[in-house]
A and B are shown apart, each in its own frame.
Chain A
């Protein structure tokens, strides 16, 4: 991770500051962006993650100046953006659809903003060449957008957004139009480019894997609000609530009633699990109902007999995914769990549908979710 990843921006250093921004498309409609506040530090690679329709694009459009907020303030490098039109904002956007100019060549597309800035021709050509080098498109400089593949177009759009050396680049689902393999390759490339140019990136995505592998910090959005803000690890390992736990990766939820708390552990009587579960957690009032979340890869098969959280189950089905297999197992209560096992050896899976097995998880592997 980058050096800025760990550092939380202080208010003074914040590069982009969003203060309680609200946007409604119709007076009586639900807010598309509902009181979002964010501070993003210079040089950060920040991701906005959320399901379709949660207001990610709307938030970016507010930052770029294509929409005006109904409430709240947006500050970029300390300057209030209220009333500043898009053509005067120090941000560039990489559009979800790329929005490349079809009548211009790749080089002209990349140089579009530089020409607008009246950069001398020499300098402009040098900068365009440098940008095309950066995205490895030098040999396609004279092509028109319709003569490019999807991945090449995506890189032209990125080069165009970076060419004017903006303070902040907004990327709206930059990899959505690419196939899986290209997407995975491009992730690393984007991060590398961001390191090289040192510009603040704010990326929008609905792909949690993408957000986690690229960003230094992530804000998870739902229905126009930010529901959790943190590093990828924080968001994955300690989701704040059910929505985040469910949205980020697979998760097993088990409900129960707190029996007692001792030594940083709580005991939960779970009818669903058919056992007393022990989970690491600071004190929680006995008698309250809680849900715990366990990631599929944190459940092990055939734990030692004395281990905590040992459950009996039957294998219902199994999905072979190459590097790992995902089992669907059924507890005595009828509750279904997902368990992921890494395929470390080249052999047929150890268990088949119908097998009776025991499984378990460490007290530290589960998190207690806020109700």
Chain B
């Protein structure tokens, strides 16, 4: 086997994996999104009619997606929640990752372990725990009342604040880990060189550390932003019934309305919405490293 063939064989594995578990399911979703909703099993029409070899493509669900403002609003809302949460994750995660990298070597693995420790508990249970913390007679309100800092319980639950808390809390490790990996690679001699050339520590950070950690920032931002856009559990549990986020709309179309084609078209549109920022960040990074 030639080297080129071997390379192709090695590359074939991830491609096969992606084809099998991403492309094929996506094609099925795409197919369902182009069908019409009916009552039956499955609850949508077939794309290829069995009588003739005729293609029954329906744009009905996409038409509704475009005409009903509710969907556009839900998309925008989800992007806003995910975007703001990503910024907060970055603001919290960067100092955290930086602190871990700067900690004495023997502390580092312990600190990293603490960052991923929450994963040992089910995601659902951790989000429920926040209800106990944030609710009207929850831990936080009770403490504030007992200390006399407030005289009426604060509304911490069932609002946008609770959603932000939930998303930032849940996705923070996904920001910290890539940032840590990136900052760890940074050669300390580069900071010494910057100091030698006249940079105070803050300037050295801005001119050396920050630009060199951009790939980590981008990776962390994507890892937080993308799942956060489609997030359903957190807005459902912490955001209350009036939250409008696309993940929740999708859930409702699927489980409440049993409208599979509509749910599928929401999913396809969401993918299209997410590909844009990914492409943008990729371009940005290529410009940086080229």
| With A97-B187, A116-B198, A164-B198: A103-B288 Cβ-Cβ less than 8 Å | yes
Q: A160: CB under 8 A from chain B?
A: yes
Partner of B197, one of A65, A103, A112: A112
A101 within 8 A of B: yes
Report whether A95 and B192 are in contact in the complex, using a CB–CB cutoff of 8 Å: yes
Q: Is B140 interfacial (CB-CB < 8 Å)?
A: no
| B189 and A99 contact, CB distance less than 8 A | yes
Name the interface residues of A130-188: CB closer than 8 Å to any CB of B.
160, 164
- For B191-202 the 0/1 string (1 means CB < 8 A from A) is 011111111100
Given A116-B203, A160-B197, A164-B197, residue A86 in contact with residue B192 (CB < 8 A): yes
The secondary-structure label for the interface of chain B is helix
A93 close to chain B: CB less than 8 A = yes
Measured CA separation A117–B208 after assembly (Å) = 16
Pairwise interchain contact B189-A103, C-beta atoms closer than 8 A: no
Chain A contacts for B196, CB-based, 8 A: 64, 86-87, 91-93
Query: Is the pair B189, A97 in contact by a Cβ cutoff of 8 Å?
Result: yes
Give B166-200 as 1s and 0s: 1 = Cβ < 8 Å from A's Cβ atoms: 00000000000000000000010110111111111
Q: Which of B189, B196, B198, B203 has the most CB of A within 10 A?
A: B196
**In whole angstroms, what is the CA distance A97 to B289 when docked?**
21
How long is the Cα–Cα vector from A85 to B204 in the complex, in angstroms?
Answer: 13
Verify if B237 is at the interface (C-beta below 8 Å from A). Answer: no
| Pair A92/B197 contact, Cβ less than 8 Å | yes
Q: Does A351 contact B (CB under 8 A)?
A: no
Given contacts A103-B211, A116-B203, contact A95 B189 (CB under 8 A): yes
Asked if B233 is at the interface (CB within 8 A of a chain A CB), the reply is: no
Decide if A66 is an interface residue (CB 8 Å cutoff).
Answer: yes
| In the complex, B212 has a CB within 8 A of chain A | yes
Verify B212–A103 contact, CB threshold 8 A.
yes
Say whether A354 faces chain B, with CB atoms less than 8 Å apart: no
Cβ contact within 8 Å between A102 and B192: no
B192 neighbours in A (Cβ, 8 Å): 64, 66, 86, 93, 95, 99
A363 CB within 8 Å of chain B: no
> Which residues 57-108 of A sit at the B interface, judged by CB distance below 8 A?
64-66, 85-88, 91-93, 95, 97, 99-103
Closest chain A CB from B196 CB (angstroms): 5
**What is the CA–CA distance of A92 and B192 in the complex, to the nearest angstrom?**
11
A166–B189 CA distance with the chains assembled, in angstroms: 19
Closest to A97 in B: B189
Contacts of A64 in B (CB 8 A): 192, 196
Residues of chain B contacted by A303 (CB below 8 angstroms)? none
In the assembled complex, which residues on chain B have CB atoms less than 8 Å from the CB atom of A99? 187, 189-190, 192-193
Closest to A93 in B: B196
Chain A nearest Cβ from B287, distance in angstroms: 11
Q: Which residue of A lies closest to B210 (CB)?
A: A103
Q: Is A113 an interface residue (CB 8 A)?
A: yes
In the bound complex, CA of A65 to CA of B194 (Å): 13
Distance of A97 Cα from B191 Cα, bound (Å) = 13
B195 and A112 contacting across the interface, CB-CB below 8 Å: no
In the complex, the answer to whether B212 meets A102 with C-beta atoms within 8 Å is yes
B187: chain A residues within 8 A (beta carbon): 97, 99
Pair A87/B212 contact, Cβ less than 8 Å? no
Which B242-290 residues sit within 8 Å CB-CB of chain A? 288-289
* Residues in A neighbouring B212, C-beta threshold 8 A: 102-103
Contacting residues, chain A, for B194 (C-beta < 8 A)? 101, 112
B252 to chain A minimum Cβ distance, whole angstroms, is: 46
Residues in A neighbouring B288, C-beta threshold 8 A: 103
Say how far A83's CB is from chain B's closest CB, in angstroms: 15
Q: Which residues of B contact A164 (CB under 8 A)?
A: 197-198
Question: Within 8 Å CB of A100, what residues of B?
Answer: 193
Residue in A closest to B204 when the chains form the complex, CB atoms? A87
Asked, given contacts A99-B190, A101-B190, whether A87 binds B195 with beta carbons under 8 Å apart, the answer is: yes
The docked-state distance in angstroms from the alpha carbon of A88 to that of B200 is: 9
B123 to chain A, nearest CB (A): 37
In the complex formed, the residue of B with least CB distance to A64 is B196
A88 and B201 alpha carbons, distance in the complex (Å): 12
B195's nearest neighbour on chain A, judged by CB, is: A86
Which residues of B sit under 8 angstroms from A66, Cβ to Cβ?
Answer: 192, 195
Shortest A166–chain B CB gap in Å is: 9
Contacts A97-B187, A101-B208: A85 and B195 contacting too (C-beta < 8 A)? yes
B200 cross-chain contacts in A, Cβ below 8 A: 85, 87
Per-residue CB contact flags for chain A residues 352-368 toward chain B (1 = under 8 Å, else 0) read 00000000000000000
Are A116 and B193 also in contact (CB < 8 A) when A99-B187, A103-B212 are? no
Instruction: List residues 33-70 of chain A with CB under 8 A from any CB of chain B.
Output: 64-66
Cβ–Cβ < 8 Å partners of A117 in chain B? 198
Give chain B nearest CB distance to A66 CB in angstroms.
Answer: 6
In the bound complex, how far is the Cα of B187 from the Cα of A103, in angstroms? 13
Chain B proximity of A268: nearest CB distance (Å): 51
* A91 and chain B: residue at smallest CB distance: B196
C-alpha spacing A100/B82, complex, angstroms: 37
Is the beta-carbon distance between A101 and B193 smaller than 8 angstroms? Answer: yes
A87 and B211 CA atoms in complex are apart in Å by: 20
Question: Top 10 A-B pairs ranked by shortest CB distance?
Answer: A113-B197, A99-B189, A99-B193, A116-B198, A86-B195, A87-B195, A103-B211, A93-B196, A87-B198, A112-B197
Given contacts A87-B200, A101-B194, 8 further A-B contacts (CB under 8 A): A86-B195, A86-B196, A91-B196, A93-B192, A99-B190, A101-B190, A112-B194, A113-B198
Which A residues are closer than 8 A to B by beta carbons?
64-66, 85-88, 91-93, 95, 97, 99-103, 112-113, 116-117, 160, 164
Query: 12 A–B contact pairs at CB < 8 A?
Result: A86-B196, A91-B196, A93-B193, A97-B187, A99-B190, A99-B192, A101-B193, A101-B194, A102-B212, A113-B197, A116-B199, A164-B197
